[in-house]
Amino acid sequence: MKGALLIVKKEFMELSKDRKTMFFTFVMPLVLFPLLFGMIGRLGRNDKAERTGRPSRVCVVDESGAVAAVLAANPKEFQVVARPEGDLKQAIRDQKLEMSLEADPQAAAKQRSQETWVLKAVYDRSDESSTLALDRLKKAMASRDKVVVQERLKAMGASAQLAAPTRVEPDDAGGMNRTLGKALGSFLPYMVMMMMFAGAMQHGIYATAGEKERGTLLSLLSTSIPRSQIIIGKLLYVFSIGIIVAMINLLSMAFAVTRLAASEAASAGHAGQGMPGLGALATPGTLGLTFLLMVPLGLFFANFIILAGIQAKNTVEAGTAIMPGMVVVIFLGVFSMAPGIEKMVFLPYVPVVNVSLAIRKLFSQQANYWEYTVALLMTIGLACLMTWLSTRLLKRESAIFKV
């Protein structure tokens, strides 16, 4: 084992000479995620403040005047504008206004005769400003309808509570923690696995096919270190890089999201209550269990990368050989983000996907420790099997000296 550790030391010494690679591998993730999440949070707050701080531009077709009074009573939320020329829906998509209203021409008469009348609202669901305008309209019309109903009940000599015989008081059993944790947990495993595979792949190609191109592999094989230990040493190096990258990205994400939660809480004026679910990322237990799953998965990835890299003639061929593995990781990661996928009973037994699902449930506070144990033991078993297979195959002369 001493020879394998010498190989690991050699690879890390070569890595330390490349400051640019060191920066992009170990330093940039520490800066990237806090910067990214901070920028997202700031842009989101600024956009929300800009939307809510100005009235929604609305054009109105209202022959009976049933809607005009409602809009005029809320000048901070609605600004009546002239109907733009051309296609009205296109004008809304072009953000010339947020919404168009068309009231029933007989609205006033129907209201007097206690009939229901229709108010048609045209808006753009994909635009948040337009959606805000619709929400404002619904609230304003609901308040108006409540007043109308109470007036009708009063005229009939009936109780004002006749229109509301029941009142639903919802109590969220999951809470904001679970809601936000589930949303974050859906993409976090995918991001960490991608970063781990990409980081290990880059250095694995350099340590295998790259060493062939540089002509140093033959010199290394001519030393007294057994070939099996050389292979294990390179495997440990690639595995270490993947695990370090995963740990750095995981901690960076946790720090960035926690900062975002604190920032949202401060902007909301309720310290610690802005986005409490984000704090679940920083829980030592959640991070520790997530990292524990990443260890055997990283060993599995490292074996695949070393196996493909050693047998390749050059770095280009190595990259081409490893790319299908990257595609599979991307596919399985995106697949595990699909809604309702956790209800499929067979998925806890599918490699890589079960790791994603286990981490997803950890962050959504609905961890299933049986599924977690199955994912952990299955990934450990696959990693051990892959290690045995790769070391056995790579001892062959045809694998290392492929031309």
CB count within 10 Å of CB 4 equals 20
8 A C-beta contact, residue 287 and residue 250: yes
Beta strand ranges found along 96-152 (DSSP E): 99-103, 119-122
The pLDDT tens digits of the residues spanning 207-261 come to 888 887 787 777 777 777 777 788 888 888 888 988 888 888 878 777 777 776 6
Helix %, strand %, coil % for the chain, to 5?
70, 5, 25
What is the SS3 assignment for 67?
coil
The pLDDT tens digits of the residues spanning 163-214 come to 777 878 877 666 656 666 666 666 777 777 888 888 888 888 888 888 877 8
Domain ranges for the chain: 2-40+175-400, 55-160
DSSP per-residue string spanning 176-218: HHHHHHHHHHHHHHHHHHHHHHHHHHHHHHHHTHHHHHHT-HH
Structure tokens at 389: 């297979």
- Three-state SS for 352-389 is CHHHHHHHHHHHCCCCCHHHHHHHHHHHHHHHHHHHHH
By CB atoms closer than 10 A (0-12, 13-18, 19+), residue 267 is middle
Q: Are strands 99-103 and 78-80 parallel, antiparallel or unpaired?
A: unpaired
8 A C-beta contact, residue 359 and residue 246: no
Closest-CA residue to 348 (of 325, 326, 369): 369
pTM: 0.68
CATH superfamily assigned to domain 55-160: abc type-2 transporter like domain (3.40.1710.10)
pLDDT reading at 400 higher than 80: no
What is the SS3 assignment for 225?
coil
Closest-CA residue to 4 (of 310, 238, 200): 238
Place of tokens 């190096």: 237
The pLDDT tens digits of the residues spanning 12-35 come to 887 777 777 777 777 777 777 777
